[in-house]
Chain A
Amino acid sequence: MSLIFELSVPGRRGTTLPGLDVPAADAIPAGLRRIKPAALPEVSELDAVRHFVNLSRLNIGVDTCFYPLGSCTMKYNPKFHERIAELPGFAGLHPLLPQLRRGGALTQGALAVLFEAEQFLAELLGFSAFTMQPLAGAHGELTGVMLIAAYHKKRGETRPVMLIPDAAHGTNPASAALAGFTTRTIPSDANGDVDLAALKAALGPEVAGLMLTCPNTLGLYDPNVREICRLVHEAGGLVYGDGANLNAIIGRVRPGDLGFDVMHVNLHKTFGTPHGGGGPGAAPVGVAKVLVPFLPTSRVLKRTDGSYALEYHFPDTIGYVAPFYGNFGIILRAYAYMLTLGAEGVRRVSAAAVLNANYVRAKLRDAFPAAYPRTCMHECVLTAQPLAEAHGVHALDVAKALLDRGFHAPTIYFPLIAPEAVMIEPTETESKQTMDAFIATMLEIAALAERDPEALHRAPEHQTVRRLDETRAARFPDLASLA
């Protein structure tokens, strides 16, 4: 596809501007006028319409195809919640209004959304309070580890080390490092769970806490999670929960009850708000009672007369972590999602998400065995190792072949502890028919690997671009082809 600049023909216009009705000399002072014409594309209205419509047709999303991107929870984003977010009373609200004198009275609806969304999350996850500010998952992680740092500092303790299991998302060590911690890796045991002996050996007075994903990135629920939290607490540390995989347990078990002290929740995953190209995200952070004093400001409080107000005066707060109150439009959609589903609906989400992942895992067992053969949660980590060894067809080739067959590729080569990983997360919003079509395609690819592995090495053959030079793309990214 051409860039719109390449469609440009000198003199072609899409609109006709009305003539000047003031003297040209007075309109803009001479010193502020452009010397050379702006390098804008010169196209007709039809050129522009076709260009952007065709661009939009290259877009891949949950609205166009099955999108089983493991660890990302690409569930359907209900259109009804988009309509709620478009209501003029919300969409037209100025973010500074509640901070202005008497402005709070004009924003009671929005403040109520923030307050009640926080209450719902606290109830669902078993925490004392939430900050709604963090703007995405890794931002929530950073906020969470900063709260842990503030907690130890207030107690006069120096604890510079954060423990992180080797199955963790790469953002965990990055967030801990950004908050000033050094990180120490805890290996997984043969079942894919945290190695308890290694954890015990690593705990000590220098350890601030542990960052644990529950269920973990292998899609497995660690049966020792309570014991892990107990061991960390016994050593004086706190347990951070990475909420990326919350869709597996929402409404079934409350992380606060398991012993987690702080956790971020990806609204754009579990609570069905848009993400990827459709973002932005939002990652409220929930805390146990001991961390409440350190939460970011401002917080929304309910007064005795039932009205809502922003409160800033918390002496131990870590301060602002985001402008205003987070991504309000996303919090609003998540609030609508929670109201739509209710407590029982949320329980059905996790049940169907886990059932769907296990259906895919069981159906693909022979061609793509699970990296750790046991019942999984909301996603299954399979391995292309048998295809790689027998036919030289790797996880990357399988992923590229899926693109030609009308599916978004699953996550591959993550987590790193699983060789040739293919990580599939169907989510609860997919039908059996859609999953059956995907399963049939995966089996067709496995059969093709035996017959004609070269065909898979050539894939994709029917996309806008073929196999990319990933080394070159990483080394010399061309982000604006306007040379």
Chain B
Amino acid sequence: MSVTIKDVEHISDLARLEFSEQEKEKFTHQLNDILKYVEKLNELDTSNVEPLSHVIELQNIFRADKVKPSIPTEEALKNAPAKTEEFFKVPKVIG
């Protein structure tokens, strides 16, 4: 599998990133290098191997649904780049 500039454009769209033409070329080249390297994994037959998503045995943790103090609105808005009253302010969503 080899990555083209078109793929890089598609991925950057998914990742909400944008690049100059020069950066796109560089990334295409570097991603291909890395992907070529990771294709090493195809040497291994893993058809009977269970995927490992967590390294220690985890169990779902339940707790009582009790109201506890949480971060006050003022604190939660403290780092907002723009705010109005008690809301985060962003550019319009629908044109």
Q: Do A and B come from one complex?
A: no
Chain A contact residues, CB within 8 Å of chain B: none
Chain B contact residues, CB within 8 Å of chain A: none
